[in-house]
A and B are shown apart, each in its own frame.
Chain A
Amino acid sequence: NAGVMQNPRHLVRRRGQEARLRCSPMKGHSHVYWYRQLPEEGLKFMVYLQKENIIDESGMPKERFSAEFPKEGPSILRIQQVVRGDSAAYFCASSPSANEQFFGPGTRLTVL
């Protein structure tokens, strides 16, 4: 059973560009969570999704950020018009139920 997959692992964008981060949950997991980790800091919750539904987006900035988890395919975190402050590691986690979460390897976003 493959673990949580994320791609790309590293992403470099210039200010103003768009960043798309993908997450494929573990097989059988229908709950997906996105977290952001700034350098030498803890993980901050952003959004919780189930297939085709956003359940809780209370941790996601209101502007420029969006997330989806379509019926087919990976979950996508999209950041429009990136700024330097968006530079961070973005982790997704999946869970078979609401609790035990397994993390992917993360996408390290660098905004130039």
Chain B
Amino acid sequence: GENVEQHPSTLSVQEGDSAVIKCTYSDSASNYFPWYKQELGKRPQLIIDIRSNVGEKKDQRIAVTLNKTAKHFSLHITETQPEDSAVYFCAASPTDSWGKLQFGAGTQVVVTP
């Protein structure tokens, strides 16, 4: 089955700097890669996703890149703000998995003013 590893587990950045979170996956059949943001005690919120037929996707200060050959994908947050502080989860979904998501262990991002 699919195995997703996520690094780093914690990330502290100064406000205004960039944050990068990296994930690797094991199943080459995976074709859908979402990123979720979860604030303390809240639901995971889908912030961006990418499918295997594209290499990069941007939405304002957030971007995701995908390298299918190396089987890794990354989340980039530019111009970080205190409200970006949260736990971020990557996930992967293989084509034969009926859409079920295999999540990484999460990255605690702390943006200090």
Bin the interface of chain B by size. Answer: 20 to 34
B43, B46, B104: the one within 8 Å of A104 (CB): B43
Q: Which residues of A contact B42 (CB under 8 A)?
A: 105
State which residues 94-113 of B face A: CB under 8 Å.
97-106
Interface Cβ pair total, 8 Å cutoff:
58
**In whole angstroms, what is the CA distance A6 to B101 when docked?**
20
Chain A residues whose C-beta falls within 8 Å of the C-beta of B32 in the assembled complex: 99
**Across the interface, do B104 and A101 meet the contact criterion of CB distance under 8 Å?**
no
- Can you report 22 A-B residue pairs in the complex whose CB atoms are below 8 A from each other? A31-B99, A35-B101, A35-B103, A41-B105, A41-B106, A42-B105, A43-B89, A43-B101, A43-B103, A48-B98, A48-B100, A56-B100, A91-B43, A95-B99, A98-B93, A100-B34, A100-B46, A103-B36, A103-B44, A103-B46, A105-B42, A105-B43
